[in-house]
A and B are shown apart, each in its own frame.
Chain A
Amino acid sequence: MGRHLPLLVVAFVVAASALQAQTSTADGVAAFVQGDYERALGILKPMAERAPGQGEPTALFIMGILYENGLGVPRDSVRACALLTQAAGAGPFGHQAAVLFMALQSSFSADDRDRCMLLARLGFDHRFEPATFTFDVGHSIDFQFGPKGVVTTLTYQGREKRIDEGIPPPGTVFLPIRQTDLAAQPAPRHFIERPMWIAKGPGTWALFWNVVEIVGDKFGGGASVELMTIVADRPPGDIPDIRNMAQVRLTDSGQAEWVVTTGPELRSELIESIAEREEMKEESRRRRELEASVDWTRRRDGSRPPELAPADADGCGNVFVFAWTPDRMEVISIRADKGALGLSTTPQTFSLAQHPGRLELKAHVFSSPQRNWRFCSDSRVLPEPAEESWIATSGTVTIELSPPGIRVRSPHLYRAIIRITDAEFVGPSGTRLRQTRPIVLTAIVGGGGG
């Protein structure tokens, strides 16, 4: 008997709190029945307008009727529709709520139907405030709450770019959007900060801070960082001082960075410059184009001599550079030991014959086009393709490195420019092949792999 007691106590407490909840819903509905709409609203509104899925069904139903009929509140059939949608299917009036919200929807315009669904799914306490920020003459960004969610319009040089962001996660509470301009050189940089509370679970809220750079008509680098988590029915009504927790700013060297100054994760990260971002985008665009032009079904003799005419170089490590031919059936690789060879920003020339083990030039020939290769990549396609390697035994290689820091978010990366002339390759069967045209490979290296 004794060991059952705690369970009984728990059951009693649960029953008592359930009874209390029902009683206060009943009080609110009784007030509605008696025509005391102010009292009904006071009781039912907080019970109804919780995060989606957490509203009390009967409170939602009566609130829907109050808004639809304009009793104690301004008439608002979109809000009524959203309340009834949330009330549908649960509680003693779940069926009636479903019939009424469908009847309301059928009387709506398409926009109002969307607004109803948006409210029903997002919740009634989103606190979104429309805002417009101007960066320059004819350069501005505007945030509005449209029928289907937040609509962002970026205006630049007379053109408008409109982005429908869709319905935010249920329960999202928006905080005011803010503009931050940094006095960077050669031109100021513009950032938009959008903090918001996101529901992590019943009664748990995370404060997220989203920052994005605006570059002309484009969105640049940024971040989305969780600043803090609180336990509460709803996020607090006051607006937290985000600047004490996170901000974008200039470093001493004039680079833009975002920095989190509170919470468990104190961290910062540099934000790419406009030029760097454009260069990275251009590079990935070029790679996509090259890959798109490959005939992946083509087959060739795997014992043919290499063409030694690579089109596109990539790299990693200190220093490994490789380059594909346009048909993806041959790759040239060069491995140069930066420390042993004393590579630097000053161009240095080496003879291939004099540095075995520290400077290695190869051509790899395949019988079919290769999507991936085993170097500078974490991915492997098994079985690995058969290749014939041609190893350079003589020739001249000139290597020049750039200073590190060409990628602001990966400061250890640097660029290698490699010029190969007069190399002689020896094939697997002893065949010799001499290079006729010089090869220049430029790639960003310094990262992992190789």
Chain B
Amino acid sequence: MSVQQVDGPRSWYGQQRRVNCSGRSIVALRPSAILLVAICASSEVIAQNGTADGVRALVRGDYASAARILKPLAETNHDADPIAQFFLATIYDRGHGVPPDQIRACGLYLKAAAVPNALAPQAAALAEKLMTPLCLTARDTIWGEPSAATFTLGPEHWVRNDHDGFVVGYKGVQKRAPMNWGGPGLLFLPTRYTRVGVTRPAAMERHFVEFFVWMPAMNHTPRQWGLIWFVKEIVGADVREVAGDGPVQEIVAEQPSTGRDTEQYGVIRVNADGEVERVFFGDKPHTIVIPPTSDQ
């Protein structure tokens, strides 16, 4: 399998910080639902068995299995295990088998440091090394990333996205495009696939994978959310950037709706000239034409 590097949505954090953070007085949100400390004995035993299995995999160097086992134990609103959080943090800290993600690692370390446990002092010391304002957001929220989805684009042509990026299958060849696209407090709406039949510059089908993500503002009460729409075009085995990625809508709400109807925010369709256009229905309705990529 070959590998292609694709830009992730991380740049929006910077934009959001510029928009929402005034000077240095960044106050992290403290949402109501974090780290339930009261853990009943039976579930603790179950959770720790799972953590031990994950850590065994980690020690053996099987980082993919370790991350798969530890994630649900660490990144949950309910009975999160600080030991699982610590060890999952070490995986992201240096990028063992995953793209390194110090914000995610730092948030997990801080969570692991927040309740008494065998690794709390070390978690605190390690978080201190990675501390940024986003780390506090990561501590106070659940890490959001798109759920896995697979779409068939045509015969011998498919795309799968998971936590770590895309895999495109094209004429029997698989190509991976890793992406660092999760983030603290992000709420991913269901991933959408749109196929558009164009006539210009030539008759063909174009394939778009679309993500709608609610991103919490860091220092606003009541809580503010911005909806980010980002799109990737699949061209053969490649994943291409698409113009127009960015905010669609802002709302004030404790929790935005995560319903399946993303078409109220924007659609990709063919226009009267036979080209692809990206139509924004949000706060500032507008339309942009998506030009064909160079080799189409």
On A, residues with C-beta under 8 Å from B are 22-23, 25-27, 29-30, 32-35, 58, 65, 68-69, 71, 92-93, 95-96, 99-100, 103
CB-CB under 8 A for A92 and B59, given A33-B52, A35-B48, A69-B121: yes
Find out whether the CB atom of A30 lies under 8 angstroms from the CB atom of B56.
Answer: yes
- With A33-B51, A33-B52 already in contact, the answer to whether A95 and B60 are too (CB < 8 A) is no
Q: How far is the CB of A295 from chain B (nearest CB, A)?
A: 63
A-B contact pairs, 12 of them (CB 8 A): A30-B56, A33-B51, A33-B52, A33-B55, A34-B52, A35-B48, A35-B118, A69-B121, A96-B90, A96-B126, A99-B125, A103-B129
Known: A69-B118, A95-B94. A30 touches B55 (CB 8 A): yes
Instruction: Digitize B105-132: 1 where CB-to-A-CB distance is under 8 Å, 0 elsewhere.
Output: 0000000000000110110011011000
Q: Is the interface of B mostly helix, strand, loop or mixed?
A: helix
Query: Cα distance A91–B59 when bound, in Å?
Result: 8
Query: Which B residues form the contact surface with A (CB < 8 A)?
Result: 48-49, 51-53, 55-56, 58-61, 63, 83, 87, 90, 93-94, 96, 118-119, 121-122, 125-126, 128-129
What A residues does B51 contact at CB under 8 A?
Answer: 33
A35 cross-chain contacts in B, Cβ below 8 A: 48, 118
- Which residues of A lie under 8 Å from residue B93 when comparing CB positions? 95-96
**Partner pick for A33 among B63, B83, B94, B126, CB 8 A cutoff:** B83
Contact A92 B61 (CB under 8 A): yes
Q: Which chain B residues lie closer than 8 Å to A32 at the CB level?
A: 118
Q: Given A26-B56, A65-B118, A96-B90: A34 and B126 within 8 A (CB)?
A: no
The main secondary structure of chain A at its interface with chain B is helix
Q: Is there contact, CB below 8 Å, between A100 and B61?
A: no
**A103 lies within 8 A of B59 (CB):** no
Contact A58 B59 (CB under 8 A): yes
Q: A33-B48, A93-B90, A100-B125 are in contact. List 10 more A-B contacts (CB 8 A).
A: A22-B60, A34-B48, A34-B49, A65-B118, A69-B119, A92-B61, A92-B63, A92-B90, A95-B94, A99-B126
A248 to chain B, nearest CB (A): 51
Q: 10 closest Cβ contacts across the A-B interface?
A: A30-B52, A26-B56, A26-B59, A103-B125, A33-B52, A95-B94, A33-B55, A29-B59, A99-B129, A22-B60
- List chain B residues, Cβ under 8 A from A100: 122, 125-126
Tell me, rounded to whole Å, the shortest Cβ–Cβ distance linking A278 to chain B: 57
Bound-complex Cα distance A35 to B48 (A): 9
| CB within 8 Å for A65 and B56 given contacts A92-B90, A96-B90 | no
Chain A residues with Cβ below 8 Å from B94 are 95
- Residues of A within 8 Å of B63, CB to CB, are 92
* B183–chain A nearest beta-carbon distance, Å: 23
A322 to chain B, nearest CB (A): 70
Contact status B59-A65, CB under 8 Å: no
Measured between beta carbons, the chain B residues less than 8 angstroms from A68 are: 121-122
Residues of B within 8 Å of A23, CB to CB, are: 60
